[in-house]
Structures are given as C-alpha cells and as structure tokens.
C-alpha cells in the first residue's frame, strides 16, 4: 500500500531569505508537509506584486536551518512565488505561504505589501495561499507564536474550500502567546497612511526626500483587522483582487444609457 504524499508547501517572503521570520515559519510548517523555500536574496518590502522583466533571475541554494535548504532569488516576492510554482517545485504546491513578515500588513498596507504580493501569486495559480505578519518591526522579534498560528491555520486551509481568487491575510499581535485572545475573522480596515516626506540633503549638498508618513488606526469598525490587532487577537482576513465598484458600475450603466 503506497504511503500518502505529504502536502507540498511553498514559502516565500519580502524580508529576505535570511530573515528570522521565514526560518521559523519553514521550521513550523515542516511538521505539516514538505517545505520549499524560495525567497528574495535581500530585503524587498513594499514592492507589492512587482515582477522582474528586464533582468535575469539568479538563483542560489541557501541553508535555512540544519534540515531545510531554500533558494535565494535576485527578485521580488512575486518573482519567487512564480518561480517556485512554475520551475523549482517538482509538482504544484498544495499551499503557498508568505512571511512571517516583521511588521503588520493590515488595512491599506495590503496594497503595498510584498508579503501579500507573494501570497497573491499563489492565489492566482489557484493554490490556497496565506500571507502572515507579526506586529513588530524588530527584525530580531521571535516569531515562534506567529509560526504556531500559521501551522494551525495551514492545517485548516487543507480541509476547507477557499474560493478561487481569495487568500487569507493573517496578522499576529506582537505580544506573548498567553496574552493573545484568540483568532478573530475580520474585514480589512479602511485606515490609511497620512503621507509626509522629509526634505534632506546628502553629503554632497544634493536634496532628496525620505518617506516619513504616519499610520492612523481606525478603531470605529469593531470587525476590522485594526480593531482585532489592537485588542490582541490574531486577525484573519479573506481578501481578493476584484477592484470593480459593482454598485457604481450599475449606476454608471444606467446614467450612460
């Protein structure tokens, strides 16, 4: 009697293949199935779904841990997910996970996030996909708790029917596990960044600008990812890429007849 194949799990991120978050995620998910790590060879935050089309993608093997070897790619998270699915994995992955990102990716951040961008490519390939982030920008922050929740949710993802065109965006509060209130299924907050730029001068007297915007939390919507994180819940938000304003589409059609 043949042994059932373990699930094949493709993991990427935007913090780079040497990040603590991706190592702890890979180690946790290896308990569930065979893990393939394909990730950028450097920090690639806030690149959304950018893909490389004018330069070759170079790939090098990279030791993630004593038991896991991955592939470092000279590209974006989207590049890595595409390459992993279409060239590096021997068969179509059963799951695609992107993270664990240092810094939460909620509300408007999903539009800019390279972490979410990596998961989007899995979703576009009709593979159950998850982006996972932790609410601390400290690159040394221990992601063990977030990795445990990723494993729990990944196990559930293999059992449920996630609609085509939808992925799960998961954010874990940066608190100890005993302070986490549980998992809350949420909607995307409408909070946005208040943009500002600092005008600076380099050592040669040339002017440049540095982004220094501030994020304005929105606590009015108690069902949002913002509210859940603020109250120490793990936020799980199903998101999709259909930007069509269907209400206005109907009105527009009527108005232009």
pLDDT tens digit sequence for 46-75: 999 999 999 999 999 999 988 899 999 999
| Predicted confidence (pLDDT) at residue 132 exceeds the cutoff of 80 | yes
pLDDT at res. 202: 95
* pLDDT at residue 17 tops 90: yes
Residue 257 in this model has a pLDDT that exceeds 70: no
- Percentage of residues in the chain having pLDDT higher than 70: 97
pLDDT digits (tens, 9 = 90+) for 91-124: 999 999 999 999 999 999 999 999 999 999 999 9
Residue 3's pLDDT is what? Answer: 55
Range in 30-39, 128-137, 206-215 the model is least confident about: 206-215
- Count the helices and strands in the chain (H runs, E runs): 7, 13
Over 90: is that where the pLDDT of 169 sits?
Answer: yes
Average predicted confidence (pLDDT) for the chain: 94
Q: Give whole-number Cα distances, 154 to 30, 139, 140, 185, 236, in Å.
A: 11, 24, 24, 15, 12
Q: Which residue in this structure is represented by tokens 């576009």?
A: 124
Can you give the pTM of this predicted structure? 0.92
* pLDDT at position 256: 67
Whether residue 1 is predicted with pLDDT greater than 70 in this model: the reply is no
CA 29, 14, 231 angle in degrees (round to 5)? Answer: 70
Q: Which of 1-5, 51-55, 175-179, 226-230 is predicted least confidently?
A: 1-5
Per the document, the length of the chain is: 257
Quick one: which of 79, 76, 80, 9 has its CA closest to 38? 80
The helix-helix angle for 20-29 and 144-157 (nearest 10°) equals: 40
Reported confidence tier of residue 254, pLDDT bands at 50, 70, 90:
confident
């Amino acid at each position: 009697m043949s042994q059932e194949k373990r699930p094949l799990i493709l993991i990427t991120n935007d913090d780079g293949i040497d990040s603590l978050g991706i190592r702890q995620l890979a180690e946790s998910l290896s308990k569930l199935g065979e893990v393939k790590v394909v990730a950028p060879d450097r920090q690639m935050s806030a690149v959304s779904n950018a893909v490389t089309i004018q330069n070759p993608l170079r790939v090098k093997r990279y030791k993630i841990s004593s038991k896991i070897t991955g592939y470092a790619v000279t590209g974006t998270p989207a590049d890595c997910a595409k390459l992993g699915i279409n060239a590096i994995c021997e068969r179509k992955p059963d799951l695609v996970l992107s993270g664990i990102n240092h810094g939460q990716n909620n509300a408007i951040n999903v539009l800019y996030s390279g972490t979410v961008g990596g998961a989007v490519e899995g979703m576009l390939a009709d593979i159950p996909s998850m982006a996972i982030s932790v609410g601390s920008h400290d690159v040394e922050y221990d992601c063990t708790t977030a990795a445990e929740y990723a494993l729990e949710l990944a196990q559930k993802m293999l059992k449920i029917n996630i609609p085509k065109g939808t992925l799960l965006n998961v954010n874990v509060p940066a608190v100890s596990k005993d302070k986490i209130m549980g998992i809350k299924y949420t909607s995307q907050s409408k909070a946005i960044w208040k943009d500002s730029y600092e005008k600076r001068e380099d050592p040669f007297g040339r002017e440049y600008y540095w982004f220094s915007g501030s994020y304005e939390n929105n606590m009015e919507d108690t069902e949002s990812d913002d509210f859940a994180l603020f109250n120490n819940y793990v936020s799980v938000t199903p998101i999709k890429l259909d930007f069509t304003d269907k209400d206005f589409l109907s009105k527009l059609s009527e108005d232009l007849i």
